Structures are given as structure tokens and as C-alpha cells.
């Protein structure tokens, strides 16, 4: 891709994952540009994580940690438009309440939120909030950025493992065909700015998180392939959110367990 093409794809990635209007983006995003924008998702995740981390750390000077984290996550939701939170609610409603492939796909398209979705969304926000508050203050900033980065990065390998659900309009189909190794490697390079410092400062936590994420990715992709035969935008948004929770919980864990 040439430089103008790269800049347009990056702008499109920002517009796709956030509510931030960016000059030069492709809005509404065409399928061709979205396919090129996917590799920039981790970089956009890093930017989102920076905003969340800055608001949280600044909030600690004014409010207690529990309130600062709620304000930070509320601000993040405004920036992203609740993009992944909406996916989590739809996904758990569908996979919790659907018994057949047809039921699951029908519920995924339903804009209404049921009990499974409400519970999953509440638990997800609670786990993220609790994880952030429990992380060592010296590492909290980099851990928040790493979680946001890895969450958007894991979308790319998930797309490589499972093709979009056939004959169905969805974000996954708009993004395009299954990603390949080159796109995964490119996305990984763009994920480095948001993760390398966390890996250096918390090497044991990052290794454990990586192992848990690989296991989660395999289980998750097998589940959706078995249940609905492919991936949808809600599935991708959910694996993104789950990955963020995993990174934060592992970062908050205390491994100095007395024997």
C-alpha cells in the first residue's frame, strides 16, 4: 500500500472503532478500505487505552479509585460508542438463549437486550473496573493500554481462524475474507507500541496472559464455528472485550502465594 492509502486506512480504522471524526477517513467505510484498515486496529486500541489510562490516573488525584475507574470507562464508552459493549450483550444473549443455529443467529440480529446480555455486560464492566483498581499503581497505566491494544489485536487472528457466517450481512463480512499470516504479523507490529513496555515491566504477567489468551482464542473460535458456522461482528467484538478483561485480571493477580 502507498502512503496515502495507509493514512486513509488508519483514519478509517479510527472511525470504525470510535466516534472520533477523522479527516481522510472512509465513512461510511467501504469493504475495500475496511479490509486494509484491519491491521491498524491494535494501534487504534493503543490510542483508546491511552485516553482511558490518562483519565483514570488523573481522576485518582480527585476521586477514590473506584470512582475514577467508573469515570474513565464511561469516557471510553463515549469515545467508542459502546461498540464492544453492545457486541458483548448481543453475543451472550444469543449464545445463552439460543438452542439452535437459527435461534442464535436470529437473537444476534435482535437489537433488544435480554437477561443474559445484561448480566454479561455488568460482569464485564465489573471485572474490568476491579482489575484496573487492583493493579499495582506503578504498572496500571501500561496495563490499561496493553489490554486495549491486545483486545483489538486478537480480532485479527480470530478472523483468520473462522470465516464470516455465509449469506449474512455483518461487520465481519464487511471487513472481508479471513485474514492471512501477513496481516496478523503487520497487526502485531502495530501492537508493539502499546504492549512492549508492559511486557518488559511485567514479564511473568504478560507470558501468563499470552497463554490464557491463546487458550481462550482456540476455545472461543471452536465454539462459534460449532454453533453458527462462522464469525460475526458481535463475535469479534466479544473476543476483543474478553481479551481486555483477561489482560487486566492477570495484570492484577498477585503471584506471591505463600506456601
Q: Is residue 12 part of a domain?
A: no
Q: Is residue 31 part of a domain?
A: no
Q: Is residue 46 part of a domain?
A: yes
Closest alpha carbon to 147 in 48, 236, 244, 56? 244
Q: What pLDDT score does 170 carry? A: 54
Terminus-to-terminus CA distance in the chain, angstroms?
55
Q: What pLDDT score does 168 carry? A: 59
Buried b (16+ CB within 10 A) or exposed e, 145-157: bbbbbbbbbbbbb
Where in the sequence is the domain holding 204, given as residue range(s)?
A: 39-252
Q: Is residue 259 part of a domain?
A: no
Q: Is residue 21 part of a domain?
A: no
Q: Is residue 64 part of a domain?
A: yes
Number of domains in the chain: 1
- For 216, counting Cβ atoms within 10 Å of its Cβ (0-12 exposed, 13-18 middle, 19+ buried), the class is middle
* Distance from C-alpha of 143 to C-alpha of 49, rounded to nearest angstrom: 9
Q: Is residue 26 part of a domain?
A: no
pLDDT in tens, the chain (259 residues): 455 467 888 888 898 899 988 775 555 556 667 778 899 999 999 999 999 999 999 999 999 999 999 999 999 999 999 999 999 999 999 999 888 898 889 888 887 888 999 999 999 999 999 999 999 999 999 999 999 999 999 999 999 999 888 765 555 555 555 678 889 999 999 999 999 999 999 999 999 999 999 999 999 999 999 999 999 999 999 999 999 999 999 999 986 644 3
- CB of 79 within 8 A of CB of 47? no
Q: What pLDDT score does 194 carry? A: 96
Beta bridge partners of 231: 164
Q: Is residue 72 part of a domain?
A: yes
Amino acid at each position: 500500500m502507498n502512503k496515502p492509502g495507509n493514512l486513509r486506512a488508519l483514519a478509517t480504522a479510527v472511525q470504525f472503532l470510535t466516534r472520533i471524526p477523522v479527516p481522510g477517513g472512509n465513512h461510511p467505510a467501504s469493504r475495500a478500505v475496511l479490509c486494509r484498515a484491519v491491521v491498524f486496529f491494535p494501534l487504534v486500541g493503543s490510542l483508546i487505552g491511552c485516553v482511558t489510562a490518562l483519565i483514570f490516573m488523573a481522576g485518582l488525584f480527585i476521586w477514590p479509585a473506584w470512582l475514577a475507574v467508573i469515570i474513565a470507562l464511561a469516557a471510553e464508552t463515549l469515545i467508542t460508542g459502546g461498540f464492544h459493549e453492545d457486541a458483548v450483550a448481543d453475543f451472550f444473549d444469543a449464545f445463552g438463549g439460543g438452542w439452535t443455529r437459527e435461534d442464535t443467529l436470529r437473537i444476534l440480529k435482535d437489537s433488544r437486550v435480554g437477561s443474559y446480555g445484561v448480566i454479561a455486560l455488568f460482569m464485564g464492566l465489573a471485572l474490568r473496573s476491579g482489575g484496573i483498581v487492583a493493579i499495582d499503581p506503578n504498572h496500571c497505566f501500561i496495563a490499561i493500554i496493553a489490554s486495549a491494544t491486545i483486545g483489538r489485536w486478537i480480532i485479527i487472528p480470530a478472523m483468520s481462524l473462522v470465516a464470516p457466517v455465509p449469506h449474512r450481512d455483518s461487520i465481519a463480512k464487511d471487513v472481508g475474507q479471513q485474514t492471512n499470516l501477513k496481516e496478523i504479523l503487520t497487526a502485531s507490529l502495530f501492537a508493539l507500541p502499546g504492549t512492549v513496555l508492559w511486557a518488559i515491566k511485567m514479564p511473568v504477567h504478560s507470558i501468563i496472559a499470552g497463554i490464557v489468551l491463546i487458550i481462550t482464542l482456540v476455545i472461543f473460535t471452536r465454539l462459534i464455528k460449532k454453533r453458527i458456522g462462522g464469525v460475526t461482528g458481535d463475535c469479534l467484538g466479544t473476543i476483543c472485550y474478553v481479551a481486555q478483561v483477561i489482560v487486566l485480571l492477570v495484570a492484577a493477580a498477585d503471584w506471591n502465594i505463600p506456601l
